[in-house]
Amino acid sequence: MVFYRDSWEIQPPKCFRVLYPGAIWRLPDKEKTVYLTFDDGPAKEVTPAVIDILNEFNAKATFFCVGNNVKKNPLIYQRLVKEGMKTGNHTFSHTKAFDNTVQKYLKDVDKCSYYVESDLFRPPHGQLYPWHLPALKKRFKNIIMWDVLSKDYDNKLTADGVAHNVIKNVREGSIVVFHDSVKAWPRLKEALPKILKYLTDNNYKTELL
């Protein structure tokens, strides 16, 4: 199995950031603060366990939820909110922008907003056309991308590889992406405690977006 991915896959090149003016990739914190995020849930097999692990380390995270998964798992979504996590819109059907017209894409985004009330949006797969931005900015306060991609969904990686991806690249103000999905769970369940221990031992604070 591959231990880790090349750094350009973990931290997006600056040229990507130029394509999406106004999107947030990292927050310029002076203190040792990081922003943990989870995409694609809630999943009944994964999300409750993720919440438990976060609580063990007194960590907070922002969950970018797929509307259809919230529809299927409303009690888990309610638990996220009740336990002080933040939620964001991740479309209703995990829709890829590159495979749809702007109208169809925005319709799916709006459908998710019926289930996820939030001023935050993250595009599935990081896919956006620049001309999506004006319409999205009318709907959301912030469009959130990322500074560190854990690659926890990559079955060619080990849990140690996922932990390595984050620990090697995290810095003040980093927005880190994980996935509370069945696909990612075999690696995430071992990598997340290691990452949170590293952050705690190195005096990082976790805050909500």
Q: Check: CATH 3.20.20.370 for 7-206? A: yes
What angle, rounded to 10 degrees, do the helices at 185-201 and 159-169 form?
40
pLDDT score of 28: 86
In the predicted model, what is the mean pLDDT of residues 12-29? 83
Give me the residue spans of the domains in the chain. 7-206
CA distance 27 to 37: 13
Q: Contacts from 79-86 at CB under 8 Å and sequence distance 24+?
A: 79/48, 79/51, 80/42, 80/47, 80/51, 83/51, 83/55, 84/60, 85/51, 85/54, 85/60, 85/61, 85/208, 86/60, 86/61, 86/62, 86/118, 86/120, 86/208, 86/209
Question: What is this structure's pTM?
Answer: 0.94
Catalytic residues: 39, 179
- Using one digit for the tens of pLDDT, what is the confidence trace for 29-48? 778 999 999 999 999 999 99
**Pair 43, 180: CB distance under 8 Å:** yes
- Using one digit for the tens of pLDDT, what is the confidence trace for 91-101? 999 999 999 99
Of residues 10 and 94, which shows the higher confidence score? 94
- Using one digit for the tens of pLDDT, what is the confidence trace for 147-176? 999 999 999 999 999 999 999 999 999 999
Give the H/E segment covering residue 97.
none
Q: What is the mean pLDDT of the chain?
A: 93
Reduce the DSSP state of residue 199 to 3 states and report it.
Answer: helix
In the predicted model, what is the mean pLDDT of residues 103-131? 96
pLDDT score of 1: 44
